[in-house]
Structure 1
Amino acid sequence: MSTSTSLWKRDWYQDHDPMYIATDCIIFGFDDGILKLLVFKRRVEPQKGAYSLIGSFVKLDESVTDAAKRVLEEITGLQNVFMEELRTYNAVMRDPGYRCISIGQYALIRINEYDKELVEEHGAIWYPFDELPGLVLDHDDMVKDALARLRRKARYQPIGFELLPEKFTIPQLQSLYEAIYQKKMDSRNFRKKVLSFGVLIKLNEKDKLSSKKGAFLYKFDHLKYEALVAKGINFEV
């Protein structure tokens, strides 16, 4: 008897209809000023070969959150990244394979840190957000919901820092917010606003890839941010 099935000595609910529980991960990345999503071609029926989010059925001996963490690590090699439960997708006919409920989870990862060989091994592809192909089942709805959540969170919390390298420039930060909201922002006003929060640490280093003069690099001050949040300060950009 397997470890998972031995957790229960007796099936008290055998007279009820069974169903599957799955988790699907909406994995965001940011690269060269473009918001991207990690998708892959489905390897099993139904709809084998169609583009899909990356997910898995939840095992009997793991929580939904642990299942999502497992999926993320299996695909990207990353642990301890930002991930948050989105919502439950429970339409009766959402999956033609069988009655299945899925709990969506969205994750933000630094695109320069993931394991490229693992991603390629699973046939996963980074797609620019505005060039996404149609996805299977209700995955398009999941992506739409995840983007709406990201936009709401980014308006009041500096959540976007989860998508940037540890060291970044103000123009890179602005480029990220422009990608999330799909609109241009005034550079002077943006710089003034983000610096007014006091959560950026200016480094004695410059990024000279974009110009000879270069732009100063910054780091996010997590401790300062947490202290300000405790005081009830919003971070609307």
Structure 2
Amino acid sequence: MTDEQWTPPVVLLAVDLVILTLRESRLQILLVERGIEPYKGALALPGGFLQHSEESLIAAAHRELSEEADIDVATLTLEHLGVYGDPGRDPRGRVVSVAYLAIAPWLPEPTAGTDAANAEWQAVDRVLSGELELAFDHRRIVADGVERARVKLEHSALATAFCGPTFTITDLQEVYEAVWGIRLDPRNFYRKVQKTDGFIVAAGSERKSATGRPARLFKAGPRKVLYPPMVRPTELSTQKEQQ
């Protein structure tokens, strides 16, 4: 076939957004109820097509997040997650989607707009288990985004952002348990935290715990990259996913 005979395929370009936060001590994800076909009425990630040839991918991601959930993009740092372009992933034709990820604390209740009939936070474990069905291949994208977030907690001090200005080791452990989806042994967790120099520093005060015993308070330390990393107990994580 010559160049004159070859016709490039029609490919539509879209963006999808995996927005994660902690609410009620659970890792939750922003989902929208689709207001249009295909999959009208189904839950999906916020996202959509680029509007014109001059719109950048990140600009489209910001616009879709603002339009579909009324989330202030200034509060988020979006990072590239992956590209999804399997044939048949969208009944409207060949659609390649560039996915972005953000994980941030204190995100507000979303408000639906444009082609979204509703926008809401949902527990990640309900999506990963299949209890909540998502449109397109969005469950796969969610799984990839959650795994990226879990790895970030292993290698960075991100978990401290989900605690208050001062916090206990137990508060920090609850963040790790919510994101990793597993229960951690308190003594082992305490040892790992203390071995990671600069991760947290003493705040010089105490808080009375549920048992009545005072618990030491800490604050985020200067280190942003953790070494050694806070590695997940792999076997426990696998068992949790299978339950």
The TM-score bracket by the shorter chain reads 0.7 to 0.9
Structure 2: state its 5+ residue gaps: 1-6, 232-243
Change (3 A) 1:166 1:52: farther
Q: Please provide the CA RMSD for this pair.
A: 2.7
The percentage of aligned residue pairs carrying the same residue is 29
Change (3 A) 1:183 1:78: same
Cα drift, residue 202 of structure 1: 3.3
Question: What does residue 149 of structure 2 align with?
Answer: 150
Following TM superposition, the consecutive aligned residue runs of length 4 or more in structure 1 with deviations greater than 6 angstroms are none
* Aligned mate of 1:49, from 41, 54, 58: 41
Change (3 A) 1:72 1:215: farther
Cα drift, residue 164 of structure 1: 4.3
1:225 equivalent to 2:232? Answer no
Question: What does residue 101 of structure 1 align with?
Answer: 96
Q: TM-score, normalised by structure 1?
A: 0.76
CA distance in 2, matches of 1:102, 1:174: 35
CA distance in 1, matches of 2:57, 2:33: 23
Q: TM-score, normalised by structure 2?
A: 0.75
Question: What does residue 88 of structure 1 align with?
Answer: 83
Cα drift, residue 206 of structure 1: 5.8
The residue type paired with residue 225 of structure 1 is: R
Q: Which moved more, 1:82-91 or 1:62-71?
A: 62-71
Question: What does residue 72 of structure 2 align with?
Answer: 77
For each residue in 1:94-132, what CA deviation from the matched residue of structure 2 results, as whole angstroms up to 9, or x when unmatched?
Answer: 11123211011111021x2x343xx13442111112223
Which aligned pairs between 1:1-237 and structure 2 lie closer than 5 A? 16-59=8-51, 60-74=53-67, 75=69, 76-110=71-105, 112=106, 114-116=107-109, 119-122=110-113, 123-132=118-127, 133-197=132-196, 198-203=198-203, 215-221=215-221, 224-226=222-224, 229=225, 233-237=227-231
The residue type paired with residue 120 of structure 1 is: T
Structure 1: state its 5+ residue gaps: 1-14
CA distance in 1, matches of 2:50, 2:205: 45
For each residue in 1:146-165, what CA deviation from the matched residue of structure 2 results, as whole angstroms up to 9, or x when unmatched?
Answer: 12222233222233345445
Change (3 A) 1:48 1:175: same
The residue type paired with residue 131 of structure 1 is: R
Q: Which moved more, 1:17-26 or 1:166-175?
A: 166-175
| Equivalenced residues, count | 213
CA distance in 2, matches of 1:18, 1:195: 55
CA distance in 1, matches of 2:35, 2:97: 18
